[in-house]
């Protein structure tokens, strides 16, 4: 068994895509333990509330798809006492599920000591034996090391946000989900096939003057603090990227048009009201656009950039929607073989 287990662990850690890795871990545990189900959860800290993102669920004989949230609101960790106890204590918790089936909850540790990155929830016909618990914890230890390597390649070293090279893959997953939803409701049209998704491009106003006037150390501190304020302002399902220099990208999944405007305006106000050490007031300009299932990341970024340019040239410190600007005649869209060019 040890030889087979080592081979299976090696096959699992070959994955670089986190969704595939979550599913592979579930399949690995089902291969060596008699389990009813394995669920991988990610914890999202939204300030006062920690929420749960369902990443994957595997059951014997079933291909488990990624369990993304059905709506824009994610469940709160506080609503699940055993899961909350596991996350807060960073210890394995055994309990019974809603149907009375024995459940064991394991913390999935992130790169930082003392912090739970997520939870692994195992349901079985009987409580796990100590040997089985040790096996799961050993596999999670290997997973933690693998995730640390993935973080090193995918996260911006200064801000901890996703880096630019990961944008295309995350965008393509979002686009595929939108396409699947659109094809499953061909009679409803793009505007009604679920809540839309958005790409926002954020730029720190007059950032060069901050570097020139206060030095690059204070400039880096501004970038770090802005990224922290962004993390507090968005939901766990939203994805945040440092696009380069003083620019950031946000993928807002499942948000109404008024909702997208509200959250981006709230971020703009939050940053504008924050007292940055030495520097004082800092403002941002934002341009955003709706993600269409026919988009590629570059065309979507171009549309958001056109709205951002409009925001910059009209006083800075404001939020602009590309589609609203086109409808108002403030900017022009030219169709060319299905692609949209803004000028």
Per DSSP, the three-state class of 163 is: strand
pLDDT at position 69: 44
Q: What is the dihedral of CA 184, 188, 192, 198, to 10 degrees?
A: 50
Two tokens, residue 323: 């589609």
Class of domain 2-152: alpha beta
Question: What distance in Å separates the CA atoms of residue 62 and residue 55, rounded to the nearest whole number?
Answer: 16
Tell me which of 58, 132, 221, 246 is the catalytic residue.
246
Is 246 tagged catalytic?
yes
Q: Of the CATH numbers 3.30.70.270, 2.40.50.1040, 3.30.420.40, 3.40.630.30, which one belongs to the domain with range 162-342?
A: 3.30.70.270
Instruction: State pLDDT tens for residues 194-241.
Output: 689 999 999 999 999 999 999 999 999 999 999 999 998 998 779 999
List where CATH 3.30.450.40 sits in the chain.
2-152
Question: What distance in Å separates the CA atoms of residue 68 and residue 99, rounded to the nearest whole number?
Answer: 23
Instruction: State pLDDT tens for residues 242-294.
Output: 999 999 999 998 899 999 999 999 999 999 999 999 999 999 999 999 999 99
Question: Which has the minimum average pLDDT: 2-11, 91-100, 168-177, 331-340?
Answer: 331-340
Position 342 pLDDT exceeds 60:
no
Instruction: State pLDDT tens for residues 124-144.
Output: 999 999 999 999 999 998 888
Confidence of residue 336 (pLDDT cuts 50, 70, 90): very low
Question: What distance in Å separates the CA atoms of residue 27 and residue 49, rounded to the nearest whole number?
Answer: 31
Two tokens, residue 187: 């009679």
Percent helix, strand and coil across the chain, each to the nearest 5: 45, 25, 30
More confidently predicted of 51 and 71: 51
Sign of CA dihedral 320, 324, 328, 332: positive
Two tokens, residue 178: 């939108």
DSSP string, 50-85: EEEEEEEEE-TT--------SSSPPPBGGG-HHHHH
The arithmetic mean of pLDDT across residues 42-70, rounded, is 74
List where CATH 3.30.70.270 sits in the chain.
162-342
């Amino acid at each position: 068994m040890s030889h087979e287990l080592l081979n299976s662990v090696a096959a699992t850690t070959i994955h670089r895509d986190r969704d595939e890795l979550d599913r592979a871990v579930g399949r690995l545990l089902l291969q060596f333990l008699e389990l009813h189900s394995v669920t991988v959860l990610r914890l999202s800290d939204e300030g006062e509330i920690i929420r749960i993102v369902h990443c994957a669920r595997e059951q014997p004989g079933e291909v488990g798809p990624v369990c993304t949230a059905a709506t824009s609101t994610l469940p709160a960790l506080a609503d699940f006492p055993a899961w909350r106890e596991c996350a807060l204590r960073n210890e394995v918790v055994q309990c019974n599920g809603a149907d009375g089936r024995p459940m064991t909850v394991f913390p999935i540790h992130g790169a930082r000591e003392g912090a739970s990155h997520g939870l692994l929830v195992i349901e079985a016909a009987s409580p796990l034996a100590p040997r089985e618990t040790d096996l799961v914890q050993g596999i999670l230890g290997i997973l933690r090391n693998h995730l640390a390597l993935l973080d090193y390649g995918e996260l911006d070293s200064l801000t901890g946000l996703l880096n630019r090279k990961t944008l295309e893959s995350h965008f393509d997953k979002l686009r595929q989900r939108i396409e699947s939803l659109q094809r499953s409701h061909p009679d409803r049209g793009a505007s009604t096939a679920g809540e839309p998704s958005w790409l926002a491009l954020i730029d720190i106003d007059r950032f060069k003057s901050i570097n020139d006037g206060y030095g690059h150390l204070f400039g880096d501190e501004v970038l770090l603090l802005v990224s922290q304020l962004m993390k507090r302002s968005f939901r766990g399902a939203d994805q945040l990227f440092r696009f380069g220099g003083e620019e950031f990208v946000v993928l807002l999944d499942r948000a109404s048009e008024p909702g997208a405007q509200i959250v981006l305006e709230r971020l703009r106000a939050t940053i504008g009201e924050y007292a940055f050490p030495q520097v004082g007031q800092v403002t941002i300009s934002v341009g955003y656009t709706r993600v269409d299932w026919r988009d590629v990341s570059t065309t979507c970024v171009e549309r958001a950039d056109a709205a951002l340019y409009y925001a910059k040239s009209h006083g800075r410190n404001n939020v602009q929607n590309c589609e609203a600007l086109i409808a108002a005649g403030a900017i022009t869209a030219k169709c060319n073989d299905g692609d949209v060019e803004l000028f």
